[in-house]
Amino acid sequence: MNLTLRQLKIFQAVARHLSFTRASEELHLTQPAVSMQVKQLEETVGLPLFEQVGKRVYPTEAGEELERYSRSVLAILDEASLVFDEMKGLERGRLRITVASTANYFVPQLLAAFCQRHPGVKVSLDVTNRERLLQALQDNDTDLVIMGKPPDSIELAAESFMDNPLVAIAPPFHPLAGQKNIPLQRLQRETFLIREKGSGTRSATERFFVEHGLSLSSTMEMSSSEAIKQGVEAGLGLGLLSLHTLEMELALKRLVILDVCELPILRKWYVMHRTGKRLSAVAQSFKEFVLKESGQILHLPTLEQR
């Protein structure tokens, strides 16, 4: 049937009041306009929907059937409208966020604080390396990404919200622990535990040493920051990791930060999305939350813990 929602609403008002006059008053329409819409609806259905007895109108059998269907249709639309209003008010909604594995050390704290304010929001969190982050951005498979240096190959709206220093770490028993102003060249004699290819931390480390005319002569590849920390603790070598991954180990004195000239490698954390992407109300709110409040929520170790 080719009927309209406007016709259904007018029909419902007439059926509820059993009066064209009272229906027109409720809808702020003229009585002829109401009568015309009902007549068009009857022509669409192919059956009379009302019959007049004296000064009152009553629904016919077809009218009673249509009244039940129209009530269901309008109720579903009202529910949909409520859901959309709640989403606009952040009472409901979904947030898809993809983050670098290193960022997973602090992003859950941000999400927890955000979800406490908006308990109806459902969050999907994907933690991965830089290579897959770039693919998610390229394919537009996520609302927001939190990572280090934005790529030049994709047009992005990227804003920094926090420092992300990379520091050299060693076990407390290492000969360099406690020394001051260690020359950067001295690190070439050490074995370094590094992340896998595609990792932002590894790319930043390799780029840093190339810029200083140096190279790491001995490396051991690890698949995660946790593996690197455990390897460094065990004495397998040194590491270069984000300061944000080291809070527990520094507090427990399992690792120390080496005082190396030219370090730390100064980087930033960014929240980003594809340029021109239309963010949902939830995604836009979380982005603003990260930019404005992350500094008050996150309490991270400092470089003084050497």
Residue 199 contacts residue 226 (beta carbons within 8 Å): no
Residues 276 and 159 in one domain: yes
Whole-structure pTM value: 0.67
Check if the beta carbon of residue 263 is closer than 8 Å to that of residue 181.
no
Structure-model confidence comparison of residues 240 and 216, the more confident one: 240
Q: Is residue 15 part of a domain?
A: yes
Judge whether 306 lies within some domain: no
pLDDT at 296 over 70: yes
141 in the same domain as 112: yes
Residue 303 resides in a domain: no
Domain that holds residue 63: 5-88
Specify the number of domains making up the chain: 3
- CATH number, position 242: 3.40.190.10
pLDDT of residue 90: 64
User: Do 247 and 126 fall within a single domain?
Assistant: no
- 148 shares its domain with 293: yes
Residues 104 and 242 in one domain: no
Say if residue 253 is in the same domain as residue 171: yes
- Per-residue confidence at 20, pLDDT binned at 50, 70, 90? very high
Average pLDDT, the chain: 89
Residue 136 lies in a domain: yes
Domain boundary among 88, 106, 138: 88
- What per-residue confidence (pLDDT) applies to 6? 92
Strands 191-195 and 238-242: parallel
Average pLDDT over residues 295-302: 77
110 and 124, same domain (yes or no): yes
In whole angstroms, what is the distance from residue 279 CA to residue 276 CA? 9
For residues 76 and 98, state if they share a domain. no
Nearest CA-CA partner of 103 in 144, 154, 153: 144
Looking at the structure, tell me whether residues 84 and 16 fall in a common domain.
yes
Domain identity same for 130 and 279:
yes
Q: What pLDDT digit, counting tens, does each position of 115-169 carry? A: 998 888 889 999 988 888 888 888 788 889 999 888 888 899 999 999 999 999 9
Q: What is the 3-state secondary structure (H, E, C) of 1-55?
A: CCCCHHHHHHHHHHHHHCCHHHHHHHHCCCHHHHHHHHHHHHHHHCCCCEEEECC
Identify whether the C-beta of residue 145 lies closer than 8 Å to the C-beta of residue 273.
yes
Please report the sign of the dihedral spanned by the C-alpha atoms of residue 153, residue 155, residue 156, residue 162.
positive
Identify whether residues 156 and 273 lie together within a single domain.
yes
d(CA 239, CA 219): 10
**179-225 tens-digit pLDDT:** 999 999 999 889 999 988 878 888 888 899 999 999 888 889 998 89
Same domain, 114 and 159: yes
